[in-house]
Amino acid sequence: MSASFSHELFETDGAIYMGSQRDPAGCRVGLFGVPYDGTTSFRPGTRFGPAAIREVSSGLESYCPQLDLDLEDLAFADLGALDIPFGAPEPVVMAVQRATEAVLALGLKPLMLGGEHSISSGAVAAVAAQHPDLVLVQLDAHADLRHEWLGAKHSHACAMRRCLEVLPSQQLLQIAIRSGTREEFSELRATGRLVAIEQLVQTLQPLRGKPIYLTVDLDWFDPAVLPGTGTPEPGGFMWNHFAELITELSQHNLVAADVVELAPMLDPSGVSSVLAAKVVRSLLLSLGNY
């Protein structure tokens, strides 16, 4: 990593995700954190998510038996935490876009750790500029299709609305959304973007070969297994549902991903952080081995 790259964009103090290196030379995936929760609408704390994921990652095995892949066989870089401005979300989204562009310019597939979901549109914009036919796949409890929330257009409640504005293909699949307004669900049904969990594999199979960006809002998981999130929603999903998605995505061209909305201080047991770190392991292996 050049001195200017690390100094201008990322802070590299603190923990590092297990098995990673700081120097992106020879790597296939570039992981970075965005410690921002300026628009959280219920319980804050997602700014601590990236650090928590890194800190607990050493408690996991590097080997994934489901994929039969090992992080020890993958060269990937943990570039650090994005140096972001405090306050309004718009400058943060722009900083995320520039950082993602820099990661792509290094020839790496980006994996972003949040932070809250408002940051995703910046990364999607950068990836979509390189892949105009990009398909966005969303795991989330919430539709996130509001045009604005409490006067803010870049609230995390508007994350997918903002992503659609920078997604040339307009291909967005929203997997098993279970919370939203009447208007959001009317749109989900009318557009066909809402995918039932039972139809997950069937819906994704025709997209093999197309570039995919996966955004994982961790509140998609049931609060019974992941209580450490700011807007928990009962009726969610378990690890086996995520594993089914990862098995299918191993046949796809996954070009980028993010994992957002972990609020580790809301789960003193630390289990939420461990689950999030395991999600990250699956995504690193999926990004690095297509």
β-strand partners of 173? 137
Cα atoms in the 13 Å half-sphere on the side-chain side of 258: 32
pLDDT (0 to 100) of residue 19: 94
CA separation, residue 44 to residues 40, 49, 90, 121, 226 (Å): 6, 11, 18, 20, 16
CB 213 within 8 A of CB 178: no
Residue-wise pLDDT tens digits, 38-94: 777 667 889 999 999 999 999 999 999 999 999 999 999 999 999 988 778 899 999
Structural domain harbouring 233: 3-288
Strands 135-139 and 171-175: parallel
CA 265: distance to chain centroid?
19
Tokens for 113, please give them.
């750790």
pLDDT (0 to 100) of residue 41: 66
Residues of the chain with pLDDT under 50: 1-6
Binding-site members for Mn(2+) are 117, 140, 142, 144, 217, 219
pLDDT (0 to 100) of residue 87: 74
CB 102 within 8 A of CB 9: yes
The Cα 109–Cα 118 span in angstroms is 20
Binding-site members are 117, 140, 142, 144, 217, 219
For the chain, the farthest-separated pair of C-alpha atoms sits apart, in whole angstroms, at 50
The Cα 66–Cα 57 span in angstroms is 18
The Cα 78–Cα 33 span in angstroms is 9
Domain count across the chain: 1
Place of tokens 């299918």: 248
pLDDT (0 to 100) of residue 79: 96
CATH number of residue 101's parent domain: 3.40.800.10
pLDDT (0 to 100) of residue 1: 43
